[in-house]
Amino acid sequence: MAKKEGPSYQDIFQQITRGEYSNLYFLTGEEPFFIDQLTDYLLSHVLSETEREFDQQVFYGNDFEKGAAPILTLARRYPMLGQYLVIAVKEAQLIDRLEDDLAVYLQNPSPTTILIINYKDKKLDGRKKLSGMLSRMGVYFHSTKLYENQIPDWIAQLAGQRGLKIEDKACQMLAEFLGNDLGRIASEMGKLEVVLPPKGTVTAEVVEQNVGISKDYNNFELLNALKTKDLPKAQKIAWYYARNPKDHPLQLTTVVLFDFFSKLLIYHYLVDKSPNNVMSQLGVPYKGAAEYQEASGYYTPRQVLRNISLIREFDARSKGFAQAAAEPGELLRELLCLLTA
């Protein structure tokens, strides 16, 4: 989530919660959630409610397309009531010549201004002066998208921050259903925080009742069935998917299956199959190490290689390659039969 040698989201968040502020926050990258979280926290905590009326302003880039000079001129004035003047510029990537204007401002920045720049979905021109000045003059944070396999751990951390515990199955259900939309995940976790008591536990049943995800028919349960070649259970889930294709797209299921069998192949060829090494090499929790050990007894390396090839083939078929696209449910049921053969 951070640029080279730059601070992480957690580093910055901990600093501002301690009241250790920088005069400049340049927040950029492809993941808007972390950018918005830092910006919103600063806007709601640096100044008191009364001080915000006089010494805080939020601007939007589409109102200053010709340049940021008016904003930076304002940034040079002194606060009226508070210790700081707080200025946030959202969608700053829309401002023409922002990099040049900001570089001029940073030659003599105001020590009583906290300037927050949101520069989303666009990279700075590394050849310009500003790029080299940012890390020296303030906080430069590059927010990157989390990989799919990082989402469950992030959900668990989020639950902990909200004072909740969460079961592994519930975590996987949320990750599968919500993907890497961190804003939506945080929103759903907020709902669960309301319905649960302090220090409560997010279970699969709680997720099913409040988020609308079936605890019995999901990719987490599908993998559990495949790990032991429980074809009847796997086919039952496939029939459910066929009736709910929008909530369970085949392309997402094949990604999950491919990830599982790819890791199982790695497991087969590990010399050190101790739980700690499996956790490290496969990026799975302790429980997951035992599950791969169990699955390796049902699938030989040759069968795993065959299954990886089958998943690729059926993923292509689901997209219309090599033949007219068949019904996703029909393809999945056929695929599951072949995988467990």
- Does residue 124 register a pLDDT over 80? no
DSSP, res 200: -
Provide the CATH topology of domain 219-339.
Zinc Finger, Delta Prime; domain 3 (1.20.272)
Class of the domain covering 148-211: mainly alpha
Structure tokens belonging to residue 126: 């590394």
- Residue 128 near residue 100 (C-beta atoms within 8 A): yes
Listed in order, the ranges of the chain carrying CATH 1.20.272.10 are 219-339
Q: Give me 24's structure tokens.
A: 């400049």
Q: Is 89 left (phi over 0), alpha (psi -120 to 50) or beta?
A: beta
Residues of the chain with CATH 3.40.50.300: 9-143
> Which part of the chain is CATH 1.10.8.60?
148-211
Confidence class of residue 243 from pLDDT cuts 50, 70 and 90?
Answer: confident
| Closest-CA residue to 315 (of 301, 328, 304, 305) | 328
- Cβ neighbour number for residue 96 with a 10 Å cutoff: 13
Cβ distance 143 to 32 under 8 Å?
Answer: yes
Structure tokens at 143: 């927010």
Q: With a cut of 60, say whether residue 2 has pLDDT above it.
A: no
Tokens at residue 318, please? 């689901």
Domain 9-143 has CATH 3.40.50.300: yes
Digit-coded pLDDT (tens) for 308-324: 999 999 988 888 776 65
Could you tell me what percent of the chain has a pLDDT over 90? 58
Burial 111-137 (b: 16+ CB within 10 A, else e): ebbbbbbbbbeeebeeeeebeebbeeb
What does the alpha-carbon distance between residue 116 and residue 140 come to, in Å, rounded to a whole number? 10
Percent of the chain predicted with pLDDT > 70: 96
Condensed to tens digits (0 to 9), the pLDDT of residues 37-47 reads 999 999 999 99
Q: What is the mean pLDDT of residues 138-167?
A: 89
Query: How does residue 133 score in pLDDT terms, banded at 50, 70 and 90?
Result: confident
Helix boundaries (H) for the chain:
9-17, 32-45, 49-55, 69-75, 98-105, 129-137, 151-161, 168-178, 182-195, 204-211, 219-227, 231-243, 250-268, 275-282, 286-296, 301-318, 328-339
Segment 6-40, tens digit of pLDDT: 688 989 999 999 999 999 999 999 999 999 999 99
